[in-house]
Structure 1
Amino acid sequence: MMCGDALLRQEPWFISLATIGALYSAAVVFRLLPHLALLLRRPTDLRHRYGAWAVVTGPTSGIGESLALELARRGLNLVLVGRDPAKLQDISETISKTRAVQTKTVVFDLSLVATPQGDEAMRRLQETVEGLDVGLLVNNAGVAKPCAVYLHEMDVEAWVRMIRVNLWTLTEVTAAVLPGMVQRGRGAVVNIGSGSSEAIPSFPLYSVYAASKRYPKTLDISGILV
């Protein structure tokens, strides 16, 4: 019977596979290091680095609500933008009762962007943020409905509403908030995308959604802000 060392010398394929496995493991660890460093470092003072106010779209549920609560915990005043007045009031009161920050709400049905009603709501948003030290914009609002259907199975207006929220809203809200950041020389814009734009090519039955959520990743304004 051959010993283990002799067996390894006789099987070069084993050494090749072991080498590939080691290199892959090292690559995975290398990719995780920045995330680990982010977890270990001291939290950034958001007010000092970016500004006293944050604008969050879609803050009444899910990721948007969690982000709004976390930003309030980190000491930022909030402009909350959404379509449901009652839900906006609820999240605003929750923040005001638990955190020593200010909140402002803007009722805005984002599916109406680029329509006369949407233009009026956009003016209200611009008036609300005017004069505020807005240092952070979170473009979180998104629409996933209609869900898994063929394009021809839904009225085209449903797809247009999705595109308005997922793509046009992000553009117009950013355009409304960005000039103040540029003038002050600081700020950050966070665009929330979706794994559906990465996981499967064209994402069958969700292609319009996946395409519209790819846009937040490709909209790069990093060279604008200081």
Structure 2
Amino acid sequence: MAECILEQLKSQPTWLLLLLSLGLFSLLKLSLSILKWVYVNFLRPGKNLKKYGSWALITGPTDGIGKAFAFQLAKKGLNLVLVGRNPDKLKEVSESIKSKSGSTQIKTVVVDFSGDLDDGVSRIKDAIEGLDVGLLINNVGVSYPYARFFHEVDDKLLSDLIKVNVEGTTKVTRAVLPGMVKRKKGAIVNIGSGAAIVIPSDPLYSVYAATKAYIDQFSRCLYVEYKKSGIDVQCQVPLYVATKMASIKRSSFFVPSTDGYARAALRWIGYEPRCTPYWPHTLLWALANSLPESVVDAWRLKFCLGIRKRGQLKDSRKKE
């Protein structure tokens, strides 16, 4: 049988054999990609995060994804340094975590990332002095109240977007990193956004998307710089998650709850330098990549114009 097939192949023209070879190679490549996707999303075990150190520092831990990270890391047995701007909310989250994970040690640091950032970073340095902070979750971030054209972005919003999303993440990382370098171990997770990575553009959210593109490149560079120092740096790229910032109240198959996202996110820490932890988001990413950029751009512009219209209506009602 095999000899018969071999003889038939020999009798075929060279161009046909080349096409068959390319087809088989493409099929093999696709099969390996699918197997890898299944393994990393469903079979690969998460790392023991305590190996990085017994403390984790989280920015923006009083709401949304940051709050979910705090609870999930406490369940894993890590002590927490919670950095946020609202002391009452920090206290509330701390007490709630301790009620469920009583052995967790918690330190809180009040920092307004849109205010005096240098003073805030100084307080972070003082708080972590002597602690083996092995995990840093740079989650703090701000977005637009609703979609708007770039010329409609006021000075305060423009300043906050750059200061919180870019300067805040950069300076907190610089504050925590020396201890990791000294101990030769650590993990840094920077929360990016599909607005900067998955879709080719995010019209009417231009500055937000640009700040998240910075986070992605910043993370990749640090990943290369510090990999040999025992420090794993990763940019996580969520799409929509049911949070206040995304203005989504209910979770669904493609829109996880904050707890659902955080549980998935912990399994990816220490692996790829860029990832989308919640597996249904990878399907949306694949769909976006399969479509022409002009189609995605047009759909996104139409979608964001709808958000802008609804936001303007809400503003006008508040003024009445």
TM-score scaled by length of structure 1: 0.82
Task: Quote the offset at 1:44 in angstroms.
Answer: 2.8
Give 1:138's aligned amino acid: I
The 5-angstrom pairing of residues 24-39 of structure 1 reads: 26=31, 29-36=34-41, 39=42
Q: What is the deviation of 1:120?
A: 1.7
Equivalent position SS for 1:88: helix
Provide the secondary structure at the position in 2 that maps to 1:75.
coil
Query: Aligned runs of 1:175-190 on 2, under 5 Å?
Result: 175-190=174-189
Shift of 1:28: 5.0
Once the two structures are superposed, the pairs formed by residues 5-24 of structure 1 within 5 Å of their partners are none
Q: Cα offset for 1:25?
A: 5.6
Higher mean displacement: 195-204 or 124-133: 195-204
1:151-206 residue CA offsets vs partner (Å, 9 max, x unmatched):
11121221111111111101000000000000011101000000011233231111
- 2:108 pairs, out of 102, 105, 108, with 105
1:125 alignment partner in structure 2: 124
The alignment partner of 1:95 has SS state of: helix
Distance of 2:43 and 2:39 partners within structure 1: 10
Identity %: 47
Partner of residue 253, structure 2: none
Alpha-carbon separation, structure 1, partners of 2:121 and 2:194 = 29
Gaps of 5+ in 2: 1-19, 231-320
For 1:162 and 1:191, the matched residues in 2 are separated by: 16
Matched, 1:75 2:80: no
Q: What CA distance in whole angstroms lies between the structure 1 residues aligned with 2:165 and 2:119? A: 19
Partner of 1:44: 47
Contact 1:57–1:140 under 8 Å retained in 2 = yes
Do the aligned partners of 1:193 and 1:216 also contact (CA within 8 Å) in 2? yes
Deviations 1:80-139 (A, max 9, x none): 011111111111111111111100011111112xxxx22222111110011100000000
Partners of 2:29 and 2:53 lie apart in 1 by 41
Given that 1:146 and 1:154 are in contact with CA atoms closer than 8 Å, whether structure 2 keeps it comes out as no
CA distance in 2, matches of 1:89, 1:55: 16
- The 1-side partners of 2:167 and 2:120 are apart by 14
Q: Match for residue 96 of structure 2?
A: 94
Coordinate RMSD, CA, aligned: 2.2
